[in-house]
Amino acid sequence: IFVSKSGLAWSILSAMWRRAPQAAASVAVQQESAAMRVMTLSLARVLQGQRVRVVAAGGVRCQSSAAAAGSTNLKELFMATDQFAGRHLGPSPKDVDEMCKLLGVKDLNELISQTIPAAVRREALVELPDGTIGEAGALALAKSILQKNIIAKNFIGMGYHGSHVPGVVLRNLTENPGWYTAYTPYQPEISQGRLESLINFQTLVCELTGMEVANSSLLDEGSAAAEAMAMIARTVNSKTKNQFFVSDRVHPQSIDLMKLRAKYFGMELIVGDHKSTDFKSMDKLCGALVQYPDTDGLLFDYSGLADALHGNGAHLVVSADPLALVAAKPPSEFGADVVVGSMQRFGVPMWFGGPAAAYMATSKKQVRRMPGRIIGESLDRLGNPAYRLALQTREQHIRLDKATSNVCTAQVLLANMAAMYAVYHKTDGLKTIARKVHGLAQLFAKELGQLGVTVASTDNFFDTVTFSTAPLAPAALVEQLQGKNLNLRVIDGKMVSASFDETHLQDDIMTLIAVLKSVGVGGGAATNAANIVVDGHLPAAFARTSPFLQQKIFNSIHSETEMMRYMVSLQLKDLSLDKSMISLGSCTMKLNSVSSLLPCSWPEVTNMHPFAPHSQTAGYREMLESLEKYLISCTGFDACSLQPTSGASGEYAGLLVIRQYLASIGQAHRNVCIIPRSAHGTNPATAVMCGMQIKWIDDAGGMDVEEFRQLCEANKDNLAALMVTYPSTRAFFEDNIQEICQIVHDCGGQVYMDGANMNAQLGLTSPGMIGADVCHLNLHKTFSIPHGGGGPGLGPICVKKHLAPHLPNHCVVSPSSGGDLPAVSAAPWGQAGIAIIPWMFCTMLGNKGVTDSARYAILNANYMKARLAPHFPVVATNANNRCSHEFIMDFSDVRRETGIVEEDIAKRLQDYGFHAPTMSWPVPHSLMVEPTESEDKNELDRFCEAMISIKEEIRKIKDGTWPADNNPLKNAPHTQSEVCGSEWTYPYSREEAAFPAPWTLKRGKHWPTTARIDNALGDRKLKLRLEE
């Protein structure tokens, strides 16, 4: 290996040797300076004992002994100076000593020994890099891997398109921690910015589709279509109407997802030609799905199909391209009941398949059955309009196994990008883009016609042209073009398609035509396509004539200055990690480092089509497979699939893998799933989706092993799985977890571990050690992907060896981990574009840093618990009075004695500048606090002081100093306009209301922009979109 004096090359080389220390090689160093001679000695020191010969240019051999390097440890001397672990972990060494002293332990090791049962405690380090590479070195290594990708010209389409992210949106939203570090807006008073943007998104979707209501995004187009099928089944009598039709002209990845969902939903899925099917005779049909434009790029008027379906009491679902809807007749005008699709081409990169915001739009009568999150408008305590999450009683933590869906998240960051794309371009700008894209397709079709090539249609297409490849075979032609970095799509044995987007230029058309001509396509007389008029207009039969996006927000911002100010004005309304800690239990709001996020904006990451050929995606696949190995080591399992796009999606995939395995050994009848009462609400919702029968077990005081054994024995003939969270959602490590898992195995079942609390396990124990068979991981929690205000996420599953053959595959591109289970997500590697974040997290922290993440998370939680336990009852710890990485405070006594409820405390924390912990779950009338490893002692103390101060405020209510119905807690939060108003009628001062702690002045006050919002009013009078 030859090494120049480049620091970049040096970093890459050092990283290479760390990844392959057993290699034997010679390293030739070009000694052009004294500094390089020192670096040569340093390299010798680094590689000492690794059978490496370090040779200077000119053949002078450098000694690798300590004597040659002198008495100085050159490895330490020249170690990267930007080590990541110290930046990621909040407490300093001095903090750790002080915190351990308060806890009565000599060091972190003693604390961990008191927290995690010895039987499941891990001794060996996880198999990760050593963590000494530094941030710059990790970025250099990532770049060296991802540069192996070939950024081709993509004309594949299939729901993924090139898109220009406006620079002002990229800088001020996508890459802005004020947006990407926020959590789901459960506390709307400090979330009005992103809630307003999501209302813009819902309005945008409604306007494009012509439907009455839309949700605030779903995971991807294929799963959105499956959710639409499930919603329709809930609408009709699915016992008598148990068939669903899918057009064979729907994108193949969507059909694949629909088949899998229907299998366990009890729905017979019929795939066929919508043009020749007699829908009037199909009285068991509950609905049908069509694509608009279809997967070949053709537009159809589905009015007749809609009429036939409606005549039988069935529903029409349309999967629609949103850019096409700018120019084409909206689905509402031909009778659609539900419209789904992906907003990816509205200013969101392809990212090798995701993330992007899918959407669902429907009629008002379906709104309470619609999956996903919905933003609505209500009034606050002062009578001012304010946004909030509407209809939260539909969600899993309340409805459990009767929830509308297991979808518990959205793609908020991506939905906001899409909404801002529309705000930035305005209505006229969107029309211009749509006209350009259609014009490019017209020009290509016309040029093909002049080349003598037959096209599928000369008029009813938008952005995709399907054409004959005669006399060449389609597959051979596409392979030839791939060699020239031009990616097209094979349709069948005769036809190929090319899809166009806003990133394409006229020159791209001419290049593509020239190449087609050079390889022998066409050559005969001109066809009808040669007569196409290139004007960017659709034919009258399909052209949109109805007005849309007339709201002010989509027509008022003209300059980048105003666009910047609009986004900043929204950002300032929200409380994110850039302002203070967010201690939401079971949510793990840790640092999202800039170095981890930087590669997400690299062209090698953003501009890759998920169905690009393997020859162009070597870098992505190397990085993804490397990440899979990291996760396998962390979990103690044998195989991994990165395909699931969220935690709930991971649950779905994991349970399906179990079902697939059981079927493979002749045990397909097993369908009982045991779930503890404390489980996340998505667990029962997912089990129902997988066709399972739920058996509950109470675990309020920890799992009773004998009761659990009896339950398993009673169901041993049909037991399929136990879904268990470890450490428990009640915030401690159960001692008997291995025995519990063995009982399940003895009764023929498999153990699914919910990975929500994996942040307490990293390097200290593992799902494999406790006896689980499969788990999902929340990479948007444990492995530092930002929550984005409510998405995106990444929920891969890891499995034991016997389950590996049953991991999800994909019908278009097969991932290396793929087994015999069909796809659970639209893209082969799910949301691959953000997978580089956990890869960077693992690479920069290394084996010790990742383990320290769990150690410090446990330390921080136990420290806060110790400080707050004298003031509030703490629920459920282990025998050593230790919690895991979070703890639960019970306010039942406060509620009974004063009338102050947990919501009052949550809202009062906003006045102190904090987001509330998780409220009322898993214990009623509680707050669950998870500080994560990234918060330092000062921030932990600040939160504790806020809670102690609130305890004193509660005392004043209890002793009558403040009225029970008129006090700072019942009236919280207090807005700036209220505090600065001319009238003040409360029995406490303005200072007590708005500045209850000294840091609210010293650090700067974060003002809630609305007073407490009326949730009940918002659900009674639904207002889910902008009208003006």
- Of 538, 444, 450, 453, nearest in space to 498 by CA: 444
pLDDT of residue 979 exceeding 90, the answer is yes
pLDDT of residue 76: 86
**Secondary structure of 301-337 as H, E, C letters:** CCHHHHHHHHHCCCEEEEEECHHHHHHECCHHHHCCC
DSSP assignments along 633-681, one per residue: HHHT-SEEE----SHHHHHHHHHHHHHHHHHHTT-TT--EEEEETTS-T
Residue 50's pLDDT band (cuts 50, 70, 90):
very low
Give the C-alpha distances (Å, rounded to integers) separating 591 from 141, 182, 885, 929.
Answer: 22, 11, 15, 16
Pairing of strands 385-390, 338-342: unpaired
Q: What is the three-class DSSP state of 415? A: helix
For the chain, give percent helix, strand, coil, nearest 5: 45, 15, 45
* 1010 has a pLDDT exceeding 80: yes
Q: What is the pLDDT of residue 70?
A: 54
pLDDT above 70: residue 86: yes
Q: What integer is the mean pLDDT of 925-940?
A: 98
Indicate if the pLDDT at residue 398 is higher than 80. Answer: no
pLDDT tens readout for residues 281-323 = 999 999 999 999 999 999 999 999 999 999 999 999 999 999 9
Confidence of residue 61 (pLDDT cuts 50, 70, 90): very low
How is 680-696 classified by DSSP, letter by letter? -THHHHHHHHTTPEEEE
In tens, the pLDDT along 754-767 reads 999 999 999 999 99
Q: How confident is the model at residue 54 (pLDDT cuts 50, 70, 90)?
A: very low
CA 470/CA 265 separation, integer angstroms? 43
> What average pLDDT score do residues 441-447 get?
98
Q: What is the pLDDT of residue 73?
A: 87
Contact 681, 718 (CB under 8 A): no
pLDDT-based confidence at residue 393 (cuts at 50, 70, 90): low
Q: Which residue has the tokens 């929204």?
A: 570
The residue among 590, 633, 613, 586 whose CA lies nearest residue 837 is 590
For residue 716, the SS3 value is: coil
The token pair that represents 611 in the structure block: 């169905």
Task: Tell me 574's DSSP state.
Answer: B
pLDDT of residue 26 exceeding 80, the answer is: no
DSSP assignment letter at 243: E
Nearest to 86, CA basis, from 94, 74, 75? 94
Residue 350 neighbours by CB under 8 Å, 6+ apart: 154, 160, 161, 162, 163, 344, 606, 607, 608, 609, 610, 833
The alpha carbon torsion through 919, 922, 927, 928 (nearest 10 deg) reads: -110
Residues in the chain, total: 1028
532 near 442, Cβ under 8 Å? Answer: yes
Q: Is 735 helix (H, G, I), strand (E, B) or coil?
A: coil
Model pLDDT, residue 25: 40
394 against 121, higher pLDDT: 121
- Find out whether 884 and 112 touch, Cβ atoms under 8 Å: no
Would you give the distance in Å from CA 137 to the centre of its chain? Answer: 27
Structure tokens at 980: 């600065």
Give the mean model confidence (pLDDT) for residues 144-159. 98
Section 1002-1019 average pLDDT: 95
β pairing state of 315-320 and 338-342: parallel
Burial of 118 (C-beta count, 10 Å sphere; 0-12/13-18/19+) = exposed
Residue 455 has phi, psi (to 5 degrees) of -110, 155
Element (H, E) at 362: strand 358-362
Helix (H, G, I), strand (E, B) or coil at 720: strand
Q: Are strands 385-390 and 374-379 parallel, antiparallel or unpaired?
A: antiparallel
| pLDDT tens digits, 792-826 | 999 999 999 999 999 999 999 999 999 999 999 99
Asked whether the predicted pLDDT for residue 37 surpasses 50, the reply is: no
Average pLDDT over residues 256-275: 95
Contact 198, 207 (CB under 8 A): no
What are 278-283's contacts with CB under 8 Å, separation 24+? 279/245, 279/305, 279/308, 279/309, 279/312, 279/314, 280/308, 280/311, 280/312, 282/243, 282/245, 282/312, 282/314, 283/241, 283/312
Task: Using alpha carbons, list the distances in angstroms from residue 784 to 754, 777, 781, 840.
Answer: 18, 12, 6, 9
Per-residue pLDDT at 401: 75
pLDDT of residue 64: 43
Q: Encoding tokens for residue 661?
A: 């395995």
Q: Which of 928, 934, 899, 932 is nearest to 916 (CA)?
A: 928
Q: Residue 46: pLDDT above 70? A: no
Question: What's the pLDDT at 30?
Answer: 39
pLDDT range class, residue 56, cuts 50, 70, 90: very low
Mean pLDDT of the region 320-328: 98
Asked if 757 contacts 841 with a C-beta cutoff of 8 angstroms, the reply is no
What is the average pLDDT across 181-193? Answer: 96
Write out pLDDT tens, residues 466-507: 999 999 999 999 999 999 999 999 999 999 999 999 999 999
Q: What does pLDDT average to over the chain?
A: 93
From CA 283, how far away is CA 280, in angstroms rounded?
7
Q: How large is the average pLDDT for residues 87-93?
A: 98
396 falls in which pLDDT band (50, 70, 90)? low
pLDDT-derived band at 218, boundaries 50, 70, 90 = very high
Asked whether the beta carbons of 621 and 816 are under 8 A apart, the reply is yes
Q: How confident is the model at residue 3 (pLDDT cuts 50, 70, 90)?
A: very low
At residue 802's C-alpha, the angle toward residues 800 and 805, to 5°, is 105
pLDDT tens-digit profile of 946-968? 999 999 999 999 999 999 999 99
Using 50, 70 and 90 to split pLDDT, how confident is the model at 694? Answer: very high
Kindly report, residue by residue over 870-906, the tens digit of the pLDDT.
999 999 789 999 999 999 999 999 999 999 999 999 9
Look up residue 469 and give its amino acid: T
**pLDDT band at 206, cuts 50/70/90?**
very high
CA-based nearest residue to 257, from 220, 215, 297: 220
d(CA 897, CA 960): 12
> Residue 392's pLDDT band (boundaries 50, 70, 90)?
confident
- pLDDT of residue 1000 exceeding 60: yes
Q: How confident is the model at residue 418 (pLDDT cuts 50, 70, 90)?
A: very high
Rounded to an integer, what distance in angstroms lies between the CA atom of residue 860 and that of residue 864? Answer: 6
pLDDT tier, 701 (very low <50, low <70, confident <90, very high otherwise)? confident
Closest CA to 455 of 520, 403, 531: 531
Strands (E), 444-597: 464-468, 486-487, 489-490, 495-499
